[in-house]
Amino acid sequence: KRPAGPPQPMMDMPLCDYFIESSHNTYLTGDQLMSTSSTDMYTRVLLMGCRCVELDVWDGADDKPIIWHGFTLTSSIPSFDVLRAINDAAFVASPYPVILSLEVHCSYSQQEVLARQMREVFGDQLLLPAAPGTRPPAQLPSPASLVGRILVKASTGPPAKRQQRRMATAANNLKHSRWQGAPSRLDLHGGDAMSRRGSAALELAMDPPGALGASSGGHDDESSG
């Protein structure tokens, strides 16, 4: 008698009922202060079975968003290159959905660029919300119902004024650190480039209104100032 194979996972429950293999600061090849960023890291973690990857999005030159670990000396990579790497490796190791965890620090105009890039790269794989006025489902969809789909969740950075104060603090810390002679990237992100709460432009460009369901709080627990 042939031995029974491994039990097949149940994938028809709501998405929130599962533990999801996730990657933090996916783009970094090393430490969080001075290491290099690479699209290869997205390929690597997806081929290892990861289903949630992180993209920290900032304003780049020539109206092209970048993925970067803000307020550090790490290198940056174009968001378009990251999206293409994700698309190439997303469903090689697993057919189940890939979640893009966006931490949005870029301006409204570059949020629109990012939304267009996602539509271009992912096409019909990109999960968009139901039409405006449609009653939301009683529960989240299951992994089985989302096979081959790209999901987007997003949070915005802190308000511009507080972002500027944090930049000034980071610049001062770097000035007095032992890496004083290292090239600084802080001047790439001026006041008007800071994200505002709501990530509205990104939502509208994806599928108006509320395409991403972005939270207004981001990852900063300070009160607004």
- Would you name the residues annotated as active-site residues? 24, 69
Q: How far apart are CA 98 and CA 36, in angstroms?
A: 24
CA dist list (Å): 215 to 56, 69, 159: 15, 20, 13
Residues with Cβ < 8 Å from 214, sequence gap 6 or more? 104, 153, 154, 155, 156, 198, 199, 202, 203
Q: How far apart are CA 64 and CA 74, in angstroms?
A: 18
CA dist list (Å): 190 to 37, 61, 96, 212: 22, 12, 39, 26
Q: How far apart are CA 211 and CA 130, in angstroms?
A: 9
Number of Cβ atoms within 10 Å of the Cβ of 23: 19
Token code pair at residue 207 = 């599928």
Identify which of 52, 37, 82 has the alpha carbon closest to the alpha carbon of residue 64: 82
